[in-house]
Structures are given as structure tokens and as C-alpha cells.
Amino acid sequence: MSTKRSSVGEKLRSIWTIPDLRNKILFTLGLLLVFRILAQITVPLTHQEQMNLANLFGSTRNQNLGQLLGLFDVFSGGSLQTFSIVALGVAPYITATIVMQLLQPIIPALHNLSEQGEVGRLRFSQITRIITIPLAFLQALGQSAIFVRVGVLDANAFGLFGPNWLETLTILLSLTAGTMILVWIGELITEHGIGNGISLIIFAGIVSRIPQLIQQGFLASTSTGGNGGGIISIAVFLLIGLLTMLGIVFIYQGQRRVPVRYPAKREVGHGMLAGSTKTAYLPIQVNSAGMIPLIFAQSMLILPALLAQYLIGSHIKLLSNAALWTGAYLANTTLWYYWFTYFALVVLFTYFYAYIVWQQQNISENMQKQGAFIPGYRPGEPTRKYLSTILNRVTLCGALFLGIVAILPFVARVGGNQLLSSAALLIVVGVVLDTVRQLDAQMVMRNYSGLLK
């Protein structure tokens, strides 16, 4: 055991002996520090508005609104609680990326970009960034409207079509610019750092909130009157969190390896070639959708709560009553059937996204073009049906696991607070695994054994 530990320690220390890899790590850490500095630059608010913002996030009166703001706050790294210029985080860019991926098999022009190599990829990324700008502006407008609705911002001083339109436009443009700066920082990390820039930005924001979560758990435990119930709740919370992270690692690493034979030729002497085959493996990931199903499902469940916030003060009695009923039943996070619906939507979207990505790859068609085949199955339609059957079975495991992870916040509570975020756990574990793979690949390229060996 000690030999293994020393071996891992030597591999970690060897990272710093590679000058360019060390510079990549330092460059990445420097940009993440810039991100955290930007998170402290707030949108100009009056003292009363700052107090209203603090009271909003410190209150648990409106759980539906808290669910909505909590989702946004995950991607902003807590910046939404201070309403900083990067309060939107990279959520608009993620939304634009998902939209582009879903539209790629539908719009022929976007599908053609995927066949143009590096030039097409750069053009695809440019279109994604362009779409991010209006999405960020609309999200800034929506979040500001929510703050106006709950009394954080002064309704008389906020409006694009009133006497204070310039101040309002300045706030919206500042939030939009903050998102685009984060996208730029993420792409710099991807290009000149250790990679996965956008994911690392979200990861840094989540990790920065850990001290706050620990403080909330401690306060919740002390509020139980010292009878030991709070300590037990925290212990259960930590145990569930640890088991969840182990499960996420297992599912992320899990794959079904399908043997595939490719035609090859070998020299048998005197310049003569003989036909042969070589065997490779096609990996089918258990979780190929990542956290995207969680985002889709939460967005669909949060939409009724968001509409109810706008309509609850309507002068039309029918709309007002519908908004009250929606908040009390349809979007009530304390009811079991809300979480059952969440579970079902996560499973549904996991299948949906997995099949969208699978169809974009055209694996059976590409195998047939290369002359490859799966032993026991003819190329073409039989191979496609066989791979689809495997994908269906493997995705079932991943979908059920994601559904269970999604409803953990309903189970893991400390003092009535949902401290365990399924999306946050998936992001943290996924980013750590991807970063380790990136570092391992960098070391293997330089004739090292790598971190994973």
C-alpha cells in the first residue's frame, strides 16, 4: 500500500517537472482566479436592494422560487446571490450548445458543418457563441424581472421602456457581457490550459460554495436544540453524498465494449500481401448524456413555477387562481409526486439525448463503409439493430441511476434544507475525471506512464 501511495505521489510530483504542462496548470489556475475576482464585482444596487437580495436567499418562504434560483445559482457559482456581473454564469452558453446539438440532425446546413473537419467545427462554435448573446440577454431580463417581482429591485426604477431605460439596459448588457467573458475565459483554458474550460468554470463556482454549504449544515444541526438529531442528519447527508460520488464514478467509467473486426493486410514475403482482420472494441457508455437530462427535466418542472410567479398578481381572477393552484400542487417541491415526475422526466430525457447523439454518429453506416463488421452480424441493418438493442439496455442502467441521483435532494436534507445538489455532484465528479484523463494523456504523450497506470 505504501509503495502504491509513493508511486502516485511521484507521478503527481512529476507533473511539475514538465515545463509546458506546469505552465498549462498555472495558466488555468490564474484564469480561474480571474473568474472568482469577477464574481465579486456586483451590479450597482442601492443599500435597500442589497438587503432585499440577502433576505431573498436567506428566506425559505417560497420553495418554488428557491428551486428556480437554486438551479441558476449552481451554474453561477453563487454569483447570483450577490448579483455580480457574472451572475448568469455559463448557463446561456450551455443552452446554446444543447440547442445546436439538437438542431444539427434537423438542419442540413448544420449537419454539413460536422463533415467539414476542423473548419466546420470552428464555424459551429462561432454560431454557438453568436446564439449565446441573445440567450444571455433574455436570461438577464428574466432574472431581473423575477427580482422585480419579489421586491429585490425597485419596479419603478427598472424598465426598458420607462424613464430609467438606460440604467436598465446597462444592467442587462453588463450581465450579458459577463457571460461572454466567462465563455472567452473557458475557451482560453481549453486552448492554452489543461482543457475542459467551460466545465472547469462551473466546477470552480461549485467548489467555492463548499464553505457556505458546510456553514449551513452546521447551523441546521445546532438549530435542533442539541439533541443529536442534527449531527445524525449531517452524518446521513455525508454518507449519501459519498455513496453518490462513488456511484457516479462507477457509472461514468462504465461501458459496454462491443468487438469489431476491421480488414487489414499483412506482408507474407516477396512483397506479397495476405488479407487478415484485426479486432478492436466499440465502447458504448452507460451514461453518454452526462448532466444534460437533469438540466432539461429541471427546466420543464421549473417553468410552471416561473409562470406562476408572473401570473399570481394578475388582475384576472382565473389566471391568479391558476397560478396559486400551480404553486400549491403542480410545482410544489415538498410533494412526493413532484419528485416522481422529476425522476420520470430524467429517464425520458436520458434516452432522448442518448439516441440523438447515437444517430449523429452513424456508427453502423461508417463501419460498413470501412468494411468493418461485428462477428455474427451482417453489416447494415442487422448491425444497426444489434447496436440499438445494446444501447437501449445500457442506457436503461444510466437513466435509472440518473433518476435516482435526481431525487436525492428530496431524501438528503439537513434541517429541512436541501444541501445535496445532484447536478452539482455530477459536474464535480465528471470534471475531476475528465481533468485526470487530460493530465494522464499529456503525461503519456511525453513518454511518462501516466496518472492512471
Q: Contacts from 114-123 at CB under 8 Å and sequence distance 24+?
A: 114/360
Backbone angles phi, psi at 338, to 5 degrees: -65, -45
pTM score of the predicted model? 0.76
Q: How far is CA 30 from CA 192, 259, 347, 436, in A?
A: 12, 44, 39, 19
> Does one domain contain both 187 and 324?
no
Dig out the grid coordinates for 153 from the structure.
429591485
> Does one domain contain both 174 and 285?
no
Domain residues for the domain of 296 are: 236-420
> Does one domain contain both 178 and 137?
yes
Summarised one tens digit per residue, pLDDT across range 217-228 is 566 555 555 555
Summarised one tens digit per residue, pLDDT across range 138-197 is 888 878 877 887 778 877 777 777 787 888 888 899 999 999 999 999 999 988 888 888
Look at residue 188 in the predicted model and tell me its pLDDT: 93
Summarised one tens digit per residue, pLDDT across range 253-302 is 888 888 888 776 555 555 554 556 677 888 888 887 777 787 778 777 77
Dig out the grid coordinates for 428 from the structure.
464535480
Look at residue 176 in the predicted model and tell me its pLDDT: 93
Look at residue 415 in the predicted model and tell me its pLDDT: 43
Q: Does residue 72 fall inside a structural domain?
A: yes
pLDDT level of residue 414 (50, 70, 90 thresholds):
very low
> Does one domain contain both 203 and 334?
no
Considering the chain, what is the average pLDDT of its residues? Answer: 77
Look at residue 222 in the predicted model and tell me its pLDDT: 59
Number of domains in the chain: 2
Other Cβ atoms less than 10 A from the Cβ of 388: the count is: 14
Q: Does residue 10 fall inside a structural domain?
A: no
Give the DSSP letter string of 320-387. Answer: HHHHHHIIIIIT-TTSHHHHHHHHHHHHHHHHHHHHHHHHHHTHHHHHHHHT-B-TTS-TTHHHHHHH
Mean pLDDT lowest for which of 7-11, 43-47, 403-407, 442-446? 7-11
> Does one domain contain both 197 and 292?
no
Q: Does residue 152 fall inside a structural domain?
A: yes
Look at residue 30 in the predicted model and tell me its pLDDT: 93
CATH of the domain at 288: 1.10.3370.10
- Looking at residue 287, the DSSP 8-state letter turns out to be -
Look at residue 265 in the predicted model and tell me its pLDDT: 59
Q: How far is CA 241 from CA 20, 169, 235, 420, 450, in A?
A: 36, 42, 10, 7, 29
Q: Which of 208, 224, 244 is the last residue of a domain?
A: 208
Determine whether 442 is exposed, middle or buried from the number of CB atoms within 10 Å of its CB (0-12, 13-18, 19+): buried
> Does one domain contain both 283 and 335?
yes
- Cβ proximity of 447 and 439 under 8 Å: no
Determine whether 18 is exposed, middle or buried from the number of CB atoms within 10 Å of its CB (0-12, 13-18, 19+): middle
Look at residue 424 in the predicted model and tell me its pLDDT: 73
> Does one domain contain both 47 and 188?
yes
> Does one domain contain both 174 and 290?
no
Grid look-up 442587462 returns 172
- Looking at residue 16, the DSSP 8-state letter turns out to be T
Summarised one tens digit per residue, pLDDT across range 197-210 is 888 888 888 888 77
Residue 266: strand, helix, or coil: strand
Summarised one tens digit per residue, pLDDT across range 53-103 is 777 766 555 555 655 666 667 667 677 778 889 988 888 888 888 888 778
Q: Does residue 78 fall inside a structural domain?
A: yes
Look at residue 314 in the predicted model and tell me its pLDDT: 65
Mean pLDDT lowest for which of 24-33, 115-124, 167-176? 115-124
> Does one domain contain both 131 and 274?
no
Q: Does residue 184 fall inside a structural domain?
A: yes
Q: Does residue 213 fall inside a structural domain?
A: no
Q: CA Rg, the chain, in Å?
A: 25
> Does one domain contain both 138 and 203?
yes
- Looking at residue 153, the DSSP 8-state letter turns out to be S
Q: Contacts from 177-181 at CB under 8 Å and sequence distance 24+?
A: 177/85, 178/38, 178/84, 178/85, 178/86, 178/87, 178/88, 179/86, 179/88, 179/89, 179/90, 179/91, 179/92, 179/93, 179/132, 179/136, 180/129, 180/132, 180/133, 180/136, 181/38, 181/86
Summarised one tens digit per residue, pLDDT across range 367-387 is 877 778 888 888 888 888 888
Looking at the chain, the whole-number percentage of residues with pLDDT higher than 70 is 74
> Does one domain contain both 173 and 72?
yes
The residue-averaged pLDDT of 45-57 equals 77
**Element containing residue 276 per DSSP (H, E):** strand 272-285
> Does one domain contain both 200 and 274?
no
Q: Does residue 189 fall inside a structural domain?
A: yes
Q: Does residue 447 fall inside a structural domain?
A: no
Look at residue 417 in the predicted model and tell me its pLDDT: 45
Q: Which residue has the higher pLDDT, 362 or 212?
A: 362
Q: Which residue has the higher pLDDT, 228 or 338?
A: 338
Q: Which residue has the higher pLDDT, 16 or 230?
A: 16
Question: How far is the C-alpha of 137 from the C-alpha of 303, rounded, in Å?
Answer: 18
Mean pLDDT lowest for which of 53-62, 134-143, 352-361, 411-420? 411-420
Q: Which residue has the higher pLDDT, 22 or 236?
A: 22
Enumerate residues 6+ apart whose C-beta is below 8 A from 211: none
pLDDT exceeds cutoff 90 at 252: no
